[in-house]
Amino acid sequence: MQISPELQRRFAEARRVLVLTGAGVSAESGVPTFRGGGNTAVWKGMPFDVISSSEMVKRDLPAVWEWFDYRRNFMDSILPNPAHYEIARWQERFPQLTLATQNIDGLHQKAGSREVIELHGNIWRARCTACRSTYNMSQGARPDACLECGDRLRPDVVLFGEFLPPGTFELACERAAGCELCFVIGTSALVYPAAGLPEIAKTAGAYICEVNPERTSLSDLCDEVLVGKAGEVLPSIGK
């Protein structure tokens, strides 16, 4: 993997860095996307965008929980990979490192990353449908109902038909507009509004570096494209 002198210089001098990660980073740990193509049934005859939808929460919340419980059980033994750990180490390298992820698996936090901006939520949390109180399910079973108001709990993730969590994207946009160096890692850059963050950074004058196994629709916008697995590419950038 050939790292340009320009990227190495900017990496050495940067103070404000934004990292956007997508499913490709977690795929290197063995996390499946669970997305079916076309009309592929992914759970008891239902496509991914049906069982993982806001409409399904209203219609059959127990079925939604059954699907997400299955996904959590599958991911319980999956560990972070070198890309997750390298990004976590960057926290000590840069005065301000902002990590925004489209992933809901919590692997960045497992690797040691702090204050992660979770654009699409976290599969290890439950959220009250009424008062929005949240409950960490990584350290025990979820309550039968909200302990604050008694209403129903749902997965604390962004489902099809829903907006991003209040304030989450706004914070990511603010950091994108103020960064000097932006890494886009393991994402096809097709899912908006998250895919707009590199565009914001570019407009503000940041140097954009894409790391992905193949070129994407974002590649032409980037100043540098590193084709390869994130776990292999990222550790070599700062050397």
- Residue pLDDT, tens place only, 203-226: 999 999 999 999 999 999 999 999
Calculate the alpha carbon distances from 34 to 71, 115, 134 in Å. 9, 26, 24
Q: Of 71, 120, 125, 127, which is the active-site residue?
A: 120
Instruction: Tell whether 140 is covered by a domain.
Output: no
Domain residue limits at 86: 5-31+79-120+163-237
**Residue 23 and residue 239: Cα distance in Å, rounded?**
26
Q: Are the beta carbons of 23 and 103 closer than 8 angstroms?
A: yes
* 84 tagged catalytic: no
- Sign of the dihedral through C-alpha 199, 202, 204, 206: positive
The enclosing domain of 21 has a CATH number of 3.40.50.1220
Instruction: Tell whether 214 is covered by a domain.
Output: yes
DSSP letter assigned to residue 159: P
**Residue 5 and residue 171: Cα distance in Å, rounded?**
31
- Average pLDDT in the chain: 93
Instruction: Tell whether 27 is covered by a domain.
Output: yes
Instruction: Tell whether 135 is covered by a domain.
Output: no
Contacts for 131-136: CB closer than 8 Å, 24+ residues apart: none
- How sure is the predictor about 202, in pLDDT bands with cuts at 50, 70 and 90? very high
Domain tally, the chain: 1
Q: Indicate the pTM of the whole model.
A: 0.94
**Residue 234 and residue 96: Cα distance in Å, rounded?**
18
- What number is the average pLDDT over the span 78-84? 97
